Amino acid sequence: MERENFYLLLDLPIDPPEENAENIQRAITAWQAKWSRYRNHPTKSLEAKQYIGMIPEIRRVMLDPDLRRQEATRAAKESHRQLAQKFAEIDRHIDIRMSKGYVTDEELFKLAKLHQVSLADVRERLQQKQQRKFAEIDKALAVRMRKGYVTEGELEKIARRYAVGIADIRKRVKGTIRRTETDSAQQGARTLEKSIEKLITGNLKIVGKASLYDFLEIPPSATIAELQEKTRQKEEQLLKTTTKDALATASTILVGQCTTLFKNEENRRSYDVSRAQSYLQELNSDIDVAGLDGKIRAEYLEVLVKRAIDFGMDAEEAREYIQNYCRQKNWRIEKPAKRRSFLIAAAAVFVLLAAAGGYWGRRYVKARRLEHEYQQLTVQAAAQPDLVKRQRLFQDFISSHASGAYTQKARAQVASITSTIREQGFRKLVARAEHLEKAGQIDSALALYRKYLQAHSRRSPYAGRLTARIRKLKRMADERDFTSLQAMIDTPVYERVGRYLDYLKQNPASSHRQTVLGMIQAAREEYYLHLIRDCKRLDRSEQWESAKSLIQDFLKVYPDDSRRVDLTEMLSTFDTKIRDNRMFEALKKRADQLLPDFKAARQVYSDYLLSYPDSTARAKAQAMLHALDLRREAARLEALRREMQNRLTVAKRRFAVVQKGVVQDKSTGLMWCLLDSQQVLQKASGCMNYAAARRYIKSLKTGGFSDWRLPTAAELTALYKKRPFFPSGDPPSWYWSADSYARYADGWSKIVDVVSSRNVQKGAAREIDSRDCAVVRAVRP
Amino acid sequence: MGKKIKRIFGIDLGTTNSSIAYVDDYGKAVIIPNSENQRVTPSVVFFDGGTIVVGDVAKESAKLYPNEVVSFVKRAVGEPDFLFEYDSQIYHAEEISSFVLRKVAQDAEQNLGEKVQDVVITCPAYFGINEREATRKAGEIAGFNVRQIINEPTAAAIAYCAEDPLDKHTVLVYDLGGGTFDITMIAIDSDTIEVVCTGGDHNLGGKDWDDRVVNYLVQEFQKQTGIDDDILEDPDTCQDLQISAERAKKILTQRKKTPISITHGGQRVKIELQRDKFEELTQDLLERTVNFTKEMLSAGAKKGHTTFDDFILVGGSSRMPQIARRIQQEFGVEPKVYDPDGVVAKGAAIYGWKLALNDGLAQKISEKQGINIADQSADEIIELSPEMVIKDAAQELARETGYTLPAVERSMVKVKDVASKSFGVVVRDQGDEEMVYNLIMRNTSVPVDASKTFYTAVANQETVLIRIMENEVSEKTVGLGYTMEIGTAVLKLPPGLPADLPIEITFRLDNEGRLKITAVESAESRKVDVTIETNSVIHGTALEEAMARSQSIVVY
């Protein structure tokens, strides 16, 4: 059952939708108070309870901007739909008022008021209406069923009209079939007390069911004992339910009604009758419209009668129904104009006179004419070579004449022609089938026989012969299939076993059954090997669903396999993997959405790893983490590069970026790494000792070059101390040069020249111990 | 008359009517009439400007000021989203109930010249944990010391056998009140009153009978006037019809038919309601009570009580003649109508008196034995003492208080109740499906302890969340759909626990139907903190505000 739209429920503006959380909160509280007040209302209490129960959900949806927006969209759609529905009703009512040929402004005004729409809307409808024409659709059975039952008489009528067996129609009838109208609503049982009926309808609405039968999930044709049993079951089920929400309470009330109403046949009938009558509610509302001014015009009456006929009444019934209804409402039905009734009376007198005169004369003439007609027919038939057409001649005769001696003769003719046609048909069939058989198309031959057998029921005089032939053909087909099975030894094992199984299924009585079963068993090990191999492959490519279905197939073929346990375990492993992977995909989506906030994205994966340390997607998550780190690093370096490039623009006469991360000093021709080790490796290891600096240089691949080296002190000085300067870092750093010396002080040590990146024209190299730390700026060639 | 023991009053907080009782100086339970000299006070609250009016006046005002009057609030107790708004102030069901409690207590104080402090309040046996807690909260907001919440049928049984002490006897209590229906089987013996099993529906009561009549009246009005409007949309008419319906129902208990007149929108319609019609309209409601009774009887049979001796009718609605007739027809016994309006409050008062006497008795015994009374409950002290000591103490107490010795001795009767619902926790089965594992079964005697062992999932786990579920199924495991979450408990674990460590969780349902949870982790058998959280009962700031307001609001 679809829940109500909260915008509509809270009566909030939709166009444009109310977005102010405070207003919404206020509306919710106001409704909450209103519903609470209705909590003990004699008729609305359950509805109120239902709404009160919905409050947490209302809050959840309406106070969340995203959900609220969705709700608003739905509200717009829903209100549009409701309006459309209302207008359909207005259309119908305009029809009624239009039937006298014109509509007055006052009528339109009343209609507008009735439906609570603007007068202009009704006018517009009217306009549309006048342009349209009525389409008549025959819906006989459906319409009659709307009463809740059909009578035998009605069934017969329908059967005759559509030329089908009455039994076929009866099969289609889901409701009650009554022998005659006499035990139906009007003269029959008492109807249900109106207030009880309303109570039932109201509670059914809450549980979302159409009738008590629907509520018990049992067809209306069920016996009273079945109904009682169902009621008892339902009650038991309800007793177990703890949540006493509106749904449960309404169900409890309905069960109570079921207990009383299905106690005996009489009570049940009164429910059925009331139910049938409530179908007429729509009709009643139409009569109400016609009677808006306290009387029913004669023109309206005609339309109403037509409408009542649509509901399955005949004209007389309809008139009577409408009259009764109006009497209850104290409305007068106007008589049609005098002139018309005179005409009708005159016509009736004429018809009566004509009928009386004609009766006696007709009897004699009829007998003579029949004899003659039949003779002519036989002559005509004998001349007709086409059997079917000949048969039709007789049939036409039967249907166009009242039954008598001649129609009986005609019937005998029809029967004999039928059997001849059948005989011919059968012979033709056999000839064709044998031809096919000879051509090796056994299946087609079989299909031909089967189709014939199906079309002509088993009682056909040829059934015995046919079945024998079919049996023989089947044996042949079986033999053929078996030979082809044996020839399949080279086909892949899955397909082969599949074919074996198909064979067994199609030929359940095959004499080779045991052999084929043996073949299936023989294929087991091969199958298993393939299975394991494929599962591994599929596992690697993450196609676990396919792997699962492979295993399931295997287990279906070999349910008793000793490795079943292992395989089931594999199945559950795959399940876990699928589940984990699904979660991982969701994670990935979430993380991707968070980008370029690498930190937040990283958090997603690391949270996952922390909460599901055993997840099979662990490695993937770790890989994602690693990839994220790499991407973050790349992004950082890219930013740095851009920044350096920007800073270099002031000196673009001297420096040009020649390749990604490589800058050329046009004055010397040397190529420099745009980023130094400090920038690449950051604080932790960017400043390194000399040995590490040499290793760093060796491993450097920037710009695709592998011949990076440490610059000489002179080169570094030229870079930083000659205008325009290569920008210094902030603060400036010391850079290793390639100039190193060995020196003795408290033992041998290595001394290296370092140059500061401070952009001043003076300043020379300094010497530091190779174990101290400095930054590397690589140069080539 | 010597020393007085502390008076504990019994209050029947009903859907339509409430009443208060006490045990007089002769050991007899008496209903205390209200200031309008009625034995019962309508549970109707009228918000009249700055004051709050409860009772007959409020009920009368409903016709004139339908939007300022709240009735039947008991039906909404335990519903977290029910609220009543008056003068932009929000009131929860508990607070509205507290006004009713204050009114009956206030009138009793006036009548007796004695302060009402300690009370025993009754609730339907069928109430779940949250509804009970809400009832207790209502008492606390009203400023009482709520000694205990007891079940209405139990109270009825206590009053019934206090009047006429019986040996071994099984009684069915059919309690049809204004809003709720309870059916209870109680086994009475000379020294115990034991509830065997109980069942019912807390949405089935006299009000439903009234509503059927209201619907019928609306229908008749529409038929006679040809007006199709929903006349119940008009709050005045709605109130009027409800009052007329209730009156008609009462008249029909005595007479065969009653005239009713409806006035709405300037139209006046007269309707004659026949008793037959009334019974036809409400037949299914009666059938439901019969079905509950059958169900309860079969539950009783499972516990070995295949027959019963008395069938007593309690609650104002059981006066309708068709009820006794239907019971006679179905169960072949003549039910006794036994003071339908007062019996529950009386029973509660007797129970309160028993609590007070027990306190006195325990005091006496502890003086004699030299036990520190603070260490044990009164019940435990009496339970553990030798019979001679108790007898002596009882004699002494009788002498001091002026009650007869048999009365004092009778107060030692044990009252055993049962759990009206099953309680369990959400667990996962092998297929990883959520389901509920019941620790305490419906209809087991209370107090009861039940334990289940849980395991920590990971090392260093800090909390375990337990979802506590209430249900009506007497089986070990139940599908989640049949149960209702009444709260959650959070276990705060000490740090440094390994994974897979067993933690034993114990549910204890005490004789008031309150649930307590304790947990012990097995590594060092440390106690683990458990807090139960529920949203269904007034709590937090709403409770504090209500308490504070209660001080300043005057109830008439």
If asked whether residues B375 and B445 sit together in one domain, one would say: no
Whether B21 has a pLDDT exceeding 90, the answer reads yes
Say how many residues make up chain A.
781
Which amino acid, one-letter code, is at A169?
Answer: I
Helix then strand then coil, % of chain A, to nearest 5: 70, 5, 25
Task: Tell me what pLDDT residue A539 has.
Answer: 86
Dist CA B129 CA B127 (whole Å):
7
Strand A766-769 to strand B181-188: parallel, antiparallel, or no bridges (unpaired)?
A: unpaired
If asked whether residues B79 and B124 sit together in one domain, one would say: yes
Provide the chain A residues 288-347 that lie in CB contact (below 8 A) with chain B: 329-330
Dist CA A47 CA A31 (whole Å):
13
Question: For residue B534, is it within any domain?
Answer: no
Interface test mutation site (partner A, options B218, B283, B477, max chain A beta carbons within 10 A):
B283
Task: Say yes or no for a CB contact (<8 Å) between B238 and A56.
Answer: no
- Residue whose pair of structure tokens reads 């109740």 in the numeric block: B417
Question: For residue B81, is it within any domain?
Answer: yes
If asked whether residues B319 and B387 sit together in one domain, one would say: no
Question: How far away is chain B from the Cα of A737, in angstroms, using its nearest Cα?
Answer: 53
Structure tokens at B382: 């009496």
Residues 6 or more apart whose Cβ sits within 8 Å of residue A316: none
Whether A692 has a pLDDT exceeding 90, the answer reads no
Dist CA A79 CA A76 (whole Å):
5
Contact B143, B106 (CB under 8 A): no
Query: A617 in the Ramachandran plot: left (φ > 0), alpha (ψ -120 to 50) or beta?
Result: alpha
Give alpha helix (H) positions in A15-64: 21-37, 45-62
Question: For residue B431, is it within any domain?
Answer: yes
Furthest C-alpha separation in chain B:
82
Residues of B in contact with A27 (CB under 8 A): none
Q: What is the DSSP letter of A17?
A: B
Whether A336 has a pLDDT exceeding 70, the answer reads no
**Which CATH topology does A652-780 take?**
Mannose-Binding Protein A; Chain A (3.10.100)
Measured between CA atoms, the residue of chain A closest to residue B215 is A195
Q: What is the DSSP letter of B555?
A: B
Measured between CA atoms, the residue of chain A closest to residue B478 is A240
Question: Residue A183 CA to chain centroid, in angstroms?
Answer: 44
Task: Tell me what pLDDT residue A163 has.
Answer: 47
If asked whether residues B79 and B16 sit together in one domain, one would say: yes
**Which of the listed residues B394, B416, B438 is the one where a domain comes to its end?**
B416
Strand B118-123 to strand B145-151: parallel, antiparallel, or no bridges (unpaired)?
A: parallel
Give me the percent of chain A exceeding a pLDDT of 90: 0
CB neighbours (10 Å) of residue A329?
A: 14
Tell me the backbone φ, ψ of residue B79, rounded to 5 degrees.
-100, 110
Strand partners, B255: none
Whether A185 has a pLDDT exceeding 50, the answer reads no
Tell me the backbone φ, ψ of residue B499, rounded to 5 degrees.
-75, 160
Strand partners, A740: A752
Nearest of A640, A629, A558 to residue A599 by alpha carbon = A629
If asked whether residues B223 and B160 sit together in one domain, one would say: no
pLDDT for B175-214, tens place per residue? 998 888 999 999 888 778 888 888 888 788 999 999 999 9
If asked whether residues B113 and B231 sit together in one domain, one would say: no
If asked whether residues B51 and B148 sit together in one domain, one would say: yes
Dist CA B289 CA B182 (whole Å):
9
pLDDT for A702-732, tens place per residue? 888 888 888 888 888 888 887 778 877 777 7
Task: Tell me what pLDDT residue B311 has.
Answer: 92
Q: Where are the beta strands (DSSP E) in B61-191?
A: 69-70, 84-86, 89-91, 118-123, 145-151, 169-176, 181-188
Q: What is the DSSP letter of A18?
A: P
Dist CA B5 CA A391 (whole Å):
111
Contact B414, B191 (CB under 8 A): yes
**Which of the listed residues B360, B384, B416 is the one where a domain comes to its end?**
B416
If asked whether residues B147 and B174 sit together in one domain, one would say: no
DSSP for B355-391, please give it. Answer: HHHHHHHHHHHHHHHT--TTTS-HHHHHHHS-HHHHH
- Residue whose pair of structure tokens reads 């004369």 in the numeric block: A361
Question: For residue B529, is it within any domain?
Answer: no
Contact A317, A308 (CB under 8 A): yes
Contact A563, A581 (CB under 8 A): no
Whether A103 has a pLDDT exceeding 60, the answer reads yes
If asked whether residues B225 and B123 sit together in one domain, one would say: no
C-alpha dihedral sign at A69, A74, A76, A77: positive
Cis peptide before A724 (omega within 30 of 0): yes
Task: Say yes or no for a CB contact (<8 Å) between B203 and A194.
Answer: no
Task: Say yes or no for a CB contact (<8 Å) between A259 and B67.
Answer: no
Domain ranges of chain A: 6-131, 140-182+189-333, 423-486, 493-562, 563-650, 652-780
Whether A361 has a pLDDT exceeding 60, the answer reads no
CB neighbours (10 Å) of residue A446?
A: 20
Residues of A in contact with B85 (CB under 8 A): 29-30, 33, 36
Interface test mutation site (partner B, options A36, A58, A199, A609, max chain B beta carbons within 10 A):
A36
Dist CA B213 CA B216 (whole Å):
5
DSSP for A186-230, please give it. Answer: TTSSPPPPHHHHHHHHHHHHHHT-SSHHHHHT--TT--HHHHHHH
- In this complex, the residue of B202, B223, B482 whose CB is nearest that of residue A241 is B482
State whether residue B320 is helix, strand or coil. Answer: coil
Q: What is the DSSP letter of B270?
A: E
Whether B174 has a pLDDT exceeding 90, the answer reads yes
- Residue B22: pLDDT band (50, 70, 90) is very high
Average pLDDT (A89-106) is: 68
CB neighbours (10 Å) of residue B130?
A: 20
pLDDT for A580-632, tens place per residue? 888 888 888 888 888 778 888 888 888 888 877 778 878 888 888 888 888 88
Whether B443 has a pLDDT exceeding 90, the answer reads no
Question: For residue B80, is it within any domain?
Answer: yes
Task: Tell me what pLDDT residue A405 has.
Answer: 75
Which string of b and e fits A714-733 if b means at least 16 CB within 10 Å? ebbbbbbbeeebbbbeeebb
Measured between CA atoms, the residue of chain A closest to residue B66 is A37
Structure tokens at A324: 């009764």
Task: Compute CA distances B354 → A113, A738, B448, whole Å.
Answer: 68, 102, 22
Question: For residue B138, is it within any domain?
Answer: yes
Dist CA A665 CA A655 (whole Å):
5
Task: Tell me what pLDDT residue A660 has.
Answer: 82
Whether A174 has a pLDDT exceeding 50, the answer reads no
Q: How many domains does chain B have?
A: 4
Q: What is the DSSP letter of B68?
A: G
If asked whether residues B61 and B35 sit together in one domain, one would say: yes
- In this complex, the residue of A30, A249, A256 whose CB is nearest that of residue B285 is A256
If asked whether residues B434 and B379 sit together in one domain, one would say: no
Task: Tell me what pLDDT residue A133 has.
Answer: 37
- Residue A175: pLDDT band (50, 70, 90) is low
- In this complex, the residue of A39, A53, A195 whose CB is nearest that of residue B281 is A195
Which amino acid, one-letter code, is at A238?
Answer: L
Question: For residue B536, is it within any domain?
Answer: no
Lowest mean pLDDT among A126-140, A259-273, A421-435, B217-231: A126-140
State ipTM. Answer: 0.75
Structure tokens at A346: 């005159």
Say how many residues make up chain B.
556
Strand partners, B532: B489
Cis peptide before B447 (omega within 30 of 0): yes
Tell me the backbone φ, ψ of residue B65, rounded to 5 degrees.
-125, 65
Whether A186 has a pLDDT exceeding 50, the answer reads no
Whether A184 has a pLDDT exceeding 60, the answer reads no
Give alpha helix (H) positions in A384-441: 387-400, 405-438
Furthest C-alpha separation in chain A:
155
Whether B500 has a pLDDT exceeding 60, the answer reads yes
If asked whether residues B325 and B371 sit together in one domain, one would say: no
- Which CATH number do you get for residue B436? 2.60.34.10
Question: For residue B2, is it within any domain?
Answer: no
For residue B295, the enclosing domain spans 166-337
- In this complex, the residue of B79, B85, B216 whose CB is nearest that of residue A193 is B216
Whether A388 has a pLDDT exceeding 50, the answer reads yes
Dist CA A219 CA A213 (whole Å):
6
Structure tokens at A41: 């209302």
DSSP for B472-536, please give it. Answer: ---SSEEEGGG-EEEEEEEEEPPTTPPTT-EEEEEEEE-TTS-EEEEEEETTTTEEEEEEEE-SS
- In this complex, the residue of A43, A55, A260 whose CB is nearest that of residue B215 is A43
Structure tokens at A207: 């549980």
Which has more confidence, A143 or A464? Answer: A464
Which amino acid, one-letter code, is at B123?
Answer: C
Structure tokens at A402: 């009242």
pLDDT for B106-116, tens place per residue? 999 999 888 99
Task: Say yes or no for a CB contact (<8 Å) between A36 and B82.
Answer: yes
Whether A231 has a pLDDT exceeding 50, the answer reads yes
Task: Compute CA distances A221 → A256, A262, A264, B88, B173, whole Å.
Answer: 21, 13, 15, 55, 40
Which has more confidence, A679 or B185? Answer: B185
Q: Is A32 on the interface with B (CB under 8 A)?
A: yes
Task: Say yes or no for a CB contact (<8 Å) between B81 and A32.
Answer: yes
Nearest of B412, B362, B418 to residue B385 by alpha carbon = B362
Residues 6 or more apart whose Cβ sits within 8 Å of residue A526: A493
pLDDT for B239-274, tens place per residue? 888 889 999 999 998 888 899 888 887 888 888 888
Query: A217 in the Ramachandran plot: left (φ > 0), alpha (ψ -120 to 50) or beta?
Result: left
Single pTM value for the model: 0.57
Query: B487 in the Ramachandran plot: left (φ > 0), alpha (ψ -120 to 50) or beta?
Result: left
- Which CATH number do you get for residue B22? 3.30.420.40
Whether A233 has a pLDDT exceeding 80, the answer reads yes
State whether residue A364 is helix, strand or coil. Answer: helix
